[in-house]
Amino acid sequence: MSKYLPRLAAPWRGRPSLMALRHATTDCDKIAHTTVSMGRSLRKTSPSAYKILRTSVARLEQMIGMGHRIRLSEKEQAANAVIMAAKQKEIQRGLLDPSKFSPGKHIFETLSSIRKSPIFRLLKKMPKGGVLHAHDTALCSTEFLIALTYREHLWICTTDEGCRAIAFRFSVDKPTMKAMEACNWEPMEEFRQRRGEENVRRYLQQRFSMYPFSNFTSNNEAWSHFMGIFILLDGLLCYAPVWGDYYYNALQEFYEDGVQYLELRSLLPPLYCIGGEMLAIRDTVAIYQSEMKRFKASHPDFIGSKLIYAPLRGVEPKVVDEYVKTAVELNREFPDFMIGFDLVGQEELGRPLIEFVEPLLKMPEHINFYFHAGETNWFGSPIDENLLDAILLGTKRIGHGYAITKHPLSMQLCRLLDIAVEVCPVSNQVLQLGVDYRNHPAALMIAANVPIVISSDDPSFWRVAPLSHDFYFAFLGIAPMQADLRFLKCLALNSIKYSALRGHEKKEAFAKWQKLWDKWIDEVIQKNSA
């Protein structure tokens, strides 16, 4: 059996290749067959022979898993010792009293205590690469959103005798849109005076997030609440001057959280101006691109940002025909920036991909698909089957893919076709797919070496850091106890490898990331020896 070990344990430089992944699978089969041919029981071997074999097989099983072929430099090994000591401590405390283990609980109960965790602090500073799964109006901190409500000319629309906010709108005079004629509009400053500034702050803090609802009766109820936030934010964020600022601030917040690249999914709503005039969709993209360039110019370490056009899935197939045309036009005008397509909204209430096959097959090859698929726990449902359609339609990554572990063939296809699953741990918990991170299906993807990246989906609504909390749960709750710096490094590398960045862009991206990475490694070592 041990004859397989040297090859697997051999230094594995650089990033995983398809070939390496194929070998991992083949070796797993070989080992299994070898064990089979040895007979069903080892009772005739000596205890010491048993232990040698057992160690070999256990080590092999680990080697199959994600990141285990990365070889760390001496410095990285030193940093790893610091990180693993902190991890070990947190896990030991959890083993002694599982009720104190954060990844076993709901993020809304642990948000403030996690900020004090040494592991979290290390991860917060770690250069984590890029975020490849996040949505346009769910990026920024609640504090930034509240600050926006102080801008000039903002009106608020309330119901329940002025108690419940249902919309915002920037306007010199009282808004008069037909859709909201019956609305009780008042200037934001009056609303704030009437209700008291601190009360309004606290009220908005809640309305702009999923708090305090950690326990919905179902994921449908959670989704309905979730969609309500998007709707509430619509008039506040789709105002042309705010749209750009919001995105710029998001890049800033992400950058400060150790994120150097953002691949954004956006509905690309037409924006409105102060007089009510509407801009075109291409203007929405143009604003994004210009803000991105402005941010990049003042942050030389920043890799950049790209855009995935991701309109709503709950539509007739003919609407998807229009989507495809829009995507083609936008890509023609912004070929390096608007590079992909997806469909969004609760999969379970939208339509499955199979219904859109006809229009989707018309998408030209150079515009990539990045489909949401399998964000469900209904095994065997049409939503669940989205996974297969996403793969067969040639998706480059799978958004969420929560259900993919129930589909061995799809898992295998992801490995062979090098399709990464965008795992969003906190999102899955808040939207009620699962509670305990230790049961998150990504553990299996890690074990079986299905490529994954970690993303945050809608960090604004869960009030978490742009990426660090998701990394924290992936590292401490989802991955095996032994997962170390190699795992973390693999996640960061994957986020560049599986991005939409092109050849030369990717090369530059790796270099920018490496620079910050080396610096961080030094800091981790220094801080510990100080």
Report CA-CA distances (Å) from 253 to 2, 246, 258, 262, 289: 48, 10, 9, 11, 18
Query: Among residue numbers 414 through 443, which ones bind its own copies (CB under 8 A)?
Result: 416-417, 433-436, 438-439, 441, 443
**Smaller CB separation from its own copies, 112 or 217:** 217
How far apart, in whole angstroms, are the C-alpha atoms of residue 382 and residue 2?
Answer: 44
Upper half-sphere CA count for residue 105 (Cβ side, 13 Å): 15
CB of 469 to its own copies, least distance (A): 19
How far apart, in whole angstroms, are the C-alpha atoms of residue 474 and residue 459?
Answer: 15
Query: Among residue numbers 448 through 487, which ones bind its own copies (CB under 8 A)?
Result: 448, 478-483
Instruction: Tell me which of 133, 135, 400, 440 is the catalytic residue.
Output: 400
- Cβ 437 vs Cβ 103: under 8 Å: yes
6 in contact with its own copies (CB under 8 A): no
522 in contact with its own copies (CB under 8 A): no
409 in contact with its own copies (CB under 8 A): yes
36 in contact with its own copies (CB under 8 A): yes
280 in contact with its own copies (CB under 8 A): no
Helix (H, G, I), strand (E, B) or coil at 530: coil
Is 186 a catalytic site residue?
no
**From the list 379, 504, 529, 530, which residue makes contact with its own copies (rule: CB under 8 A)?**
379
Is 375 a catalytic site residue?
yes
Report CA-CA distances (Å) from 95 to 85, 103, 144, 446: 15, 12, 38, 22
Instruction: Provide the token pair at 371.
Output: 């489909």
Whether the ω angle into residue 241 lies within 30 degrees of 0, i.e. cis, is no
CB of 433 to its own copies, least distance (A): 7
CB of 281 to its own copies, least distance (A): 24
Radius of gyration for the alpha carbons in the chain, expressed in angstroms and rounded = 24
Task: Report the Cα 196 to chain-centroid distance in Å.
Answer: 36
Name the one range near its own copies by CB under 8 A: 74-82, 178-186, 334-342, 409-417: 409-417
Instruction: Provide the token pair at 254.
Output: 């992400």
**From the list 10, 58, 147, 273, which residue makes contact with its own copies (rule: CB under 8 A)?**
58
**Smaller CB separation from its own copies, 48 or 298:** 48
Helix (H, G, I), strand (E, B) or coil at 36: helix
Name the one range near its own copies by CB under 8 A: 30-38, 178-186, 326-334, 459-467: 30-38
10 in contact with its own copies (CB under 8 A): no
380 in contact with its own copies (CB under 8 A): yes
Report CA-CA distances (Å) from 360 to 353, 367, 392: 9, 11, 12
Query: Among residue numbers 303 through 362, which ones bind its own copies (CB under 8 A)?
Result: 348, 354, 357-358, 361
- Look at strands 372-373 and 397-400 and give their pairing: parallel
Report CA-CA distances (Å) from 264 to 305, 308, 484: 7, 6, 29
Query: Among residue numbers 207 through 226, which ones bind its own copies (CB under 8 A)?
Result: 217-221
**Smaller CB separation from its own copies, 144 or 216:** 216
116 in contact with its own copies (CB under 8 A): no
How far apart, in whole angstroms, are the C-alpha atoms of residue 357 and residue 61?
Answer: 39
How far apart, in whole angstroms, are the C-alpha atoms of residue 95 and residue 481?
Answer: 11
CB burial string 291-330: b at 16+ within 10 A, e below? bbeebeeeeeebbbbbbbbbbebebeeeebeebbebbeeb
57 in contact with its own copies (CB under 8 A): yes
Name the one range near its own copies by CB under 8 A: 114-122, 287-295, 332-340, 374-382: 374-382
- Cβ 465 vs Cβ 257: under 8 Å: yes
- Cβ 451 vs Cβ 498: under 8 Å: yes
**Smaller CB separation from its own copies, 44 or 178:** 44
- Cβ 331 vs Cβ 306: under 8 Å: no
Count of residues interacting with its own copies (CB under 8 A)? 81
How far apart, in whole angstroms, are the C-alpha atoms of residue 398 and residue 404?
Answer: 10
61 in contact with its own copies (CB under 8 A): yes
Secondary structure element (H or E) that encloses residue 343, with its range: none
Name the one range near its own copies by CB under 8 A: 238-246, 267-275, 371-379, 488-496: 371-379
CB of 147 to its own copies, least distance (A): 37
378 in contact with its own copies (CB under 8 A): yes
**Smaller CB separation from its own copies, 53 or 286:** 53
Query: Among residue numbers 382 through 401, which ones bind its own copies (CB under 8 A)?
Result: 384-385, 388-389, 392-394
Query: Among residue numbers 129 through 158, which ones bind its own copies (CB under 8 A)?
Result: none
**Smaller CB separation from its own copies, 61 or 523:** 61
1 in contact with its own copies (CB under 8 A): no
Residues labelled as active-site residues: 375, 400
